A = this chain, B = another copy of it.
Amino acid sequence: MCAMRRDHLTSRGAATKAKLIEAAADLMLMHGVAATTLDEIRVRSGTSKSQLYWHFPDKRALVLEVAQYRVRQVLHREQIPLARLASVSGLEQWKDHVVARCGAPGGVYGCVLGSMATELSEQDEDVRAVLKHAFAAWRELISEGLSRMRAAGVLRADADPDRLATLVIAALQGGHVLAQVQQDTSPIDHALTEAIEHVKSYELTAPPSA
């Protein structure tokens, strides 16, 4: 039989595969996908070259799995604060976490999904499809939170959760781009603050007693 990847990995194999994906993900975030060599991945993961080709048919497949890993990571992390979103101040807390992570030491100011999206959208349809769904799901998390707020009477009926969520995600992504280029979190902070200010303008204030 010619060597074929197994559908079932032992725990050791799974651990190695995970190490490879994590090492690749880190390097690709720091240096970009194209600039990350398989050799660097091998060194950082503490494994050897052939393991890459045991677990992945080629670099492209590895990149796809890195994208999927990042998507799981981001959506899982975002689900926690966003699924219980019920007020504007909840959104502000979420913003603070985003900004803190953006400027975290060792980080790189860019968004792990946004950087891959920009670099790979034109070259790899599979990665683009994965990221497209990820951004849709992310936006949906925010949109649903805003819908709940509207239903609860926190926001006015004319607030459009989908469009507001699009603004928030765009402000986050654009804020990352600007933060990366000026190596400073203030753009993402200000952009998200203003976006949330816009959401606030739909807040239903206690109607004047009349």
Contacts and interface: CB of A to CB of B under 8 A. Distances in A.
Interface string A72-88: 00000000000000000
A13 B49 CA distance: 47
Contacts of A187: 166, 170
Contacts of A201: 198, 201
A58 interface: no
Contacts of A193: 163
Q: What is the interface of chain A mostly: helix, strand, loop, or mixed?
A: helix
Contact of A169 (B35, B122, B135, B178): B178
A185 interface: no
Interface in A183-200: 183, 187-188, 190-191, 193-195, 197-198
- The count of identical subunits is 2
A164 interface: yes
A116 to B, nearest CB: 9
The range of chain A's interface size is: 35 or more
Interface in A70-114: 108-110, 114
Interface centre among A30, A162, A177, A182 (most CB of B within 10 A): A177
A147 interface: no
A4 to B, nearest CB: 30
A174 B35 CA distance: 24
A194 B163 contact: yes
A128 B176 CA distance: 14
A197 to B, nearest CB: 7
Contacts of A164: 194
A181 B132 contact: yes
Contacts of A46: none
A115 interface: yes
A117 B118 CA distance: 10
12 contacts: A118-B119, A118-B177, A166-B187, A167-B194, A170-B174, A170-B175, A170-B187, A171-B191, A174-B177, A195-B195, A197-B198, A198-B198
